[in-house]
Structure 1
Amino acid sequence: MSLLDFFRRPPSRRKYAQLLMKKLAARYPHEPVRFDEEGLRLLLGTDGAHVINLHNLYPEYCAAAGGERERQLERAVAMACPPGLPATFAAARPHLMPALRGRGMAEYLRLMELGKEPDAPSGSLFLPFSGDTVLMLVHDGADMMQSVGPAQLAQWGVGVEEALAAAMDKLRDATVDRFIQVERGVYAGDWGDAYDSSRLLLPDLAHRIAGANPLAMIPARHTLLRASSKNVEGVRAMVALAQRVADTETRPVSALMYRFEAGRPVEHVPEDALVRTGLASLRRQYLYGDYAAQAEMLEALHEKNGTDMFVASYKVMREEASGAEYSFCVWTEGVDTLLPRTERVVLSSHGGDGGSDELLMFPWDALHAACGHLIEPVPQAWPPRYRVTAFPDLEPLRPLALPARA
């Protein structure tokens, strides 16, 4: 490594936080700010009520070129106290855009709001779109995007449908055919305006690029991929490219594949085994990120509410012999736990009367069928979580256990 490379290395998380705190202190000299290193966030104000999450900002800073880093810091400071939205719908209308976002991100924002004021209305509008994606309405200002929520629409005196229709008109006006071939049989949008993934909402684009039977993926905010369902190799290449995007992008959206029916995108389950395997692996990666991002916030909420509950991790294992992947979590005897929804569950029992601890692994579906009365789903949670307070009797479950080598 050269000396120049050494100085170009990205800063640590703490150093990045210090850089941002210095900028915030200059902009808001009377507002104290402290770094929550464990939660990777800044807490602004005397009560720390204003939270600046660094999970996306920090990797974006690290990925930016030298000159862009200073601008990234300025944008992060501006996001700390965003300007107010226009007072009227007429003034806001030319700047409204639809935005497809990962459902896990929506849940993260919901948990943030719970941590501030439990009874406060949501500041964002989240409309169900697909199994792992929501549709939002945003105001695209000169310096930043701001989400628009139900309270703001009520203030403007408009309904959701009217506001979304205006946003879709704006998206169409901002869209011309701008696809490039990135792999044989695979095309990617090249707008570069933070709404590439949102253009999945424009099905006519897909048909013009990929023919009569187009398929699409939106692995990240800046990525829209197209391939023809008639081209199996192209579809496989699209999934492989989506995986590469997921490995580097900091703002994931969807791990699903989409086809178009009656003028709208719907989830597509392909027949090709290699494509299905690739999509399943991508989904595990996205779920891992969503569960991990929410864990610290859930633990903070539990501490605030005086709830003694362990948040179990979503883990992914790959078998050495076959290379097959699966997700799993651990359910420990005697521990009030929030379990993620995984493909397998490890039951960890305490050895009584001096015996040794025991670990048994079960398929989730088989375990849930046998003792689902002990596995309580958490309302609203995404990805799904389940609370377990009592531990099952292992003896009748033993025939369902997977071999120790699995």
Structure 2
Amino acid sequence: MFEWIKKRFVREQAEDLTTEFVRTLIAECRRQGLVVQSFDPSARSFVAALQDGSQVTAFIDNTFTEWQARLPSRREELVARFVRSLVEARSHGTLSLESLADELMPGIRSRVLVSELMLRDWIGGGPADDSRVTASLPFAADLVVCAIRDRPDSMSLLKVDELAAAEMPLDRALRQAMVNFRARMPQPVFEPLGQGLFGCANLGDYQSSLLLLAPGEDYALPPLDGAPVAAVPGRNVFYVAGSNDPAGLVRLLEISASAAETPHFCTASLLQWNGERWGGATLANAALEARHRDIRQQRLVADYDRQKQLLDHYHQLHGQDVFVASLQLYRAKDEPVSFSVTTLASGTHGTLLPRADRLALVWQVIDPGTGLAASKPGDVLHVTWPDAMTIVGGLFAPVPHLYPPRFRALGFPDRDAWARLEAMAR
């Protein structure tokens, strides 16, 4: 059962199996009566026509990653179930309290995932608001708790409008989901993985939901040195070590650094049990905490990059000229921790900025004859994000619904505000 956990610590040269996987997937779709109409390599998605004439867009990243990790003898069943899930997920029928009660299960998911699904819905023609967003509540770090409809071959995150149609508030759905989870959950089994690290994988797709239970009360933890610290890189796996065990924490950080490679990604952040609930971990060892922060910073940059791609796609579809700024990481000489920077130039309006540690303000020199900015900027000012918000916070409006958060620039600091910011920077 745990061989695949151990396997992730053995870094082997991986072959590019994408072509083989796609061919296998298309053949299985054909076998089950689906017609693949198009494949988008950049989005790693395909559109298939079902037998009832409807269409479904499916993304292959998670299934492909899981397929790669499986033994060849077990790949066929994974692909077959994935295709069956596409058909099953389309046959929702009428949702009601009665039909959902036995299907509900709780899920821990990335808040970034919820935001990305919303943006994909916008791109697909949905309303540009949160009326069809996944129903969720904040949990810890960058995670949320969701209500899941669990069926034989598919799991679907229930949306706000779906729960409304079933006349079921989210808190009620989550209570019923926890009842089902407790009744169906086997006792977690932790296997030692060496150097103070333990892994648990026997809860299948609900491994991350172990965070909703109390260790020592709902289940037994292995012997740990200190408070439990967990890494939950994906929904199918749970790692734990003790807060006073440097070797175990190093292993957890190794897992966090490669969390994005895990199928069904959850978080690169470590979590710690405080006796009452799981929360974002702050490691007592300064060097290890610096590494933890650096991993989270790198993950944040990747999250903003993916968000930018989706927003650019949406704006292009709707003919909107909106600049979506990026987030960059820098590291001062001899400093162990990087810091994030985003840039705003004068003469622009409506730029969507990521939340950064520091804001670079560029006062552009505009050619009065052409109206274009000179190749070299005029003044450049670097300030911390809190300082910028204190002095010119009114120029930045939070963009609703997005995570990680973005702010729309409504203007640029005038000369008086610039002087105040410059004094603050000094």
- Show the counterpart of 2:202: 191
2:191 matched to 1:163? no
Q: How far is 1:340 from its partner?
A: 1.0
Runs of at least 5 residues in structure 1 that lack an aligned partner in the other structure:
1-7
* Comparing 237-246 and 271-280, the one that deviates more: 237-246
**Mapped pair 1:39 → 2:43:** yes
Change (3 A) 1:387 1:79: farther
2:149, 2:155 → 1: CA distance? 6
Structure 2 counterpart of 1:344, from 351, 358, 375 = 358
Instruction: Give the deviation of 1:376 after TM superposition.
Output: 1.6
Residue 407 of structure 2 aligns to a residue in which SS? strand
Supply the distance in 2 between the matched residues of 1:121 and 1:379 (Cα, whole angstroms): 12
Task: Confirm or deny: 8 A CA contact 1:197 1:224 kept in the other structure.
Answer: yes
Give the aligned partner of residue 356 of structure 1. Answer: 376
Moved more, 134-143 or 207-216: 207-216
Helix, strand or coil for the counterpart of 2:330?
A: strand
Q: Could you tell me which amino acid in structure 2 is paired with residue 313 of structure 1? A: S
Offset from partner CA, 1:198-256 (integer Å, 9 cap, x none): 10111134764348843333232223233333x24256335424324415314332344
- 1:334 is aligned to 2:347: yes
Distance of 1:27 and 1:98 partners within structure 2: 30
Residues 52-201 of structure 1 aligned to structure 2 (within 5 Å): 52-83=58-89, 84-85=91-92, 92-115=100-123, 116-118=125-127, 121-122=131-132, 124-153=134-163, 158-173=168-183, 174-191=185-202, 193-201=204-212
Higher mean C-alpha displacement, 346-355 vs 122-131: 346-355
Once the two structures are superposed, what CA deviation does each residue of 1:312-350 show, in whole Å capped at 9, x if it has no partner?
222223445434312222323334421111212333443
Task: List runs of 5+ in structure 2 lacking aligned partners.
Answer: 1-13, 368-373
Aligned residue number for residue 337 of structure 2: 324
Q: Secondary structure at the match of 1:101?
A: strand
Cα distance change on mapping 1:355 and 1:224 into 2, 3 Å: closer
Match for residue 400 of structure 2 among 362, 379, 392:
379
Residue deviations 1:58-117 (CA, integer Å, cap 9, x gap): 444444444444444434433433343586655654443211000000111112223322
TM-score between the two structures when normalised by the length of structure 1: 0.80
Contact 2:65-2:261 within 8 A present in 1 as well: no
1:256/1:288 Cα in 2 relative to 1: closer, same or farther (>3 Å)?
same
Instruction: Judge conservation of contact 1:207–1:214 (CA < 8 Å) in 2.
Output: no
Distance 1:364 1:170, change over 3 A: same
TM (norm. structure 2) is 0.77
State the Cα deviation string for residues 2-25 of structure 1 (Å, max 9, x = none).
xxxxxx83245x786566456546
Distance in 2 (alpha carbons) for counterparts of 1:277 and 1:225: 20
Q: Where does residue 5 of structure 1 map in the other structure?
A: none
| Aligned-pair identity (%) | 24
Structure 1 residues 39 and 275, CA gap change in structure 2 (3 angstroms): same
Q: Secondary structure at the match of 1:383?
A: coil
In the alignment, the residues of structure 2 paired with residue 65 and residue 331 of structure 1 have an alpha-carbon distance, to the nearest angstrom, of 49
2:253 corresponding residue in structure 1: 240
Letter in 2 for 1:169: V
Find the counterpart in structure 1 of residue 264 from structure 2: 251
SS where residue 298 of structure 2 aligns?
helix
Deviations 1:345-381 (CA, angstroms, capped at 9, x unpaired)? 3334434456722554332222333322222211121
TM superposition shift of 1:135 = 0.5
For 1:38 and 1:333, how far apart are their aligned partners in 2?
Answer: 33
Aligned to 1:9: 15
Classify 1:54/1:345 alpha carbon distance in 2 versus 1 (closer, same or farther; 3 Å).
farther
Residue 223 of structure 1 is matched in structure 2 by 237
CA distance in 2, matches of 1:45, 1:389: 44
SS class of match (1:328): strand
